[in-house]
């Protein structure tokens, strides 16, 4: 394979399909630095692959709008950046959302709910899975 130069585009097409990374977010906001690290990893990963983000368990609480603007300000900006980085596959576990009382109108970003079977299929179809 020939070397790429700075101005060259990455190979694409049927012979070079784009890789798919799936990021599983399971940590609640404020529990540790993991929520910020996971967001940084997703944004960085989008430079190299098609990315999907799936919020599971307590991680779904990261999607809830917060009244505490000081606490959420940087995260709000980060979540809004997902669309700027062409990360449109944002999902959350419907069972976890129900367990934690998360309602659609409370979501900080546009995300779709998935059943456990649909989440399993997303993981199976991924080239790599990262869990936070």
Per-residue pLDDT tens over the stretch 41-77: 998 999 888 999 999 999 999 998 765 555 555 666 7
- The CATH number of whichever domain residue 38 belongs to comes to 3.40.1260.10
Host domain of residue 46: 21-131
pLDDT confidence bin for 10, thresholds 50/70/90: very low
Angle at 27 between CA 39 and CA 44, to 5 degrees: 15
Residue 6 lies in a domain: no
Residue 1 lies in a domain: no
Mean pLDDT of the chain: 83
Per the structure, the count of domains in the chain is 1
Residue 2 lies in a domain: no
Q: Are the C-beta atoms of residues 29 and 70 closer than 8 Å to each other?
A: no
Residue 3 lies in a domain: no
Q: At what angle do helices 69-84 and 34-45 cross, to 10 degrees?
A: 20
pLDDT score for 110: 92
Residue 55 lies in a domain: yes
């Amino acid at each position: 394979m020939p070397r790429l130069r700075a101005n060259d585009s990455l190979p694409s097409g049927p012979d070079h399909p784009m890789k798919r990374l799936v990021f599983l977010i399971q940590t609640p906001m404020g529990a540790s630095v993991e929520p910020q690290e996971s967001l940084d990893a997703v944004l960085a990963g989008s430079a190299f692959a098609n990315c999907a983000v799936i919020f599971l368990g307590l991680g779904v609480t990261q999607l809830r709008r917060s009244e505490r603007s000081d606490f959420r300000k940087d995260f709000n900006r980060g979540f809004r950046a997902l669309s700027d980085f062409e990360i449109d596959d944002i999902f959350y576990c419907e069972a976890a959302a129900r367990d934690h009382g998360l309602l659609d109108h409370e979501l900080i970003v546009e995300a779709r709910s998935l059943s456990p079977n649909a989440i399993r299929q997303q993981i199976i179809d991924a080239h790599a899975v990262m869990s936070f």
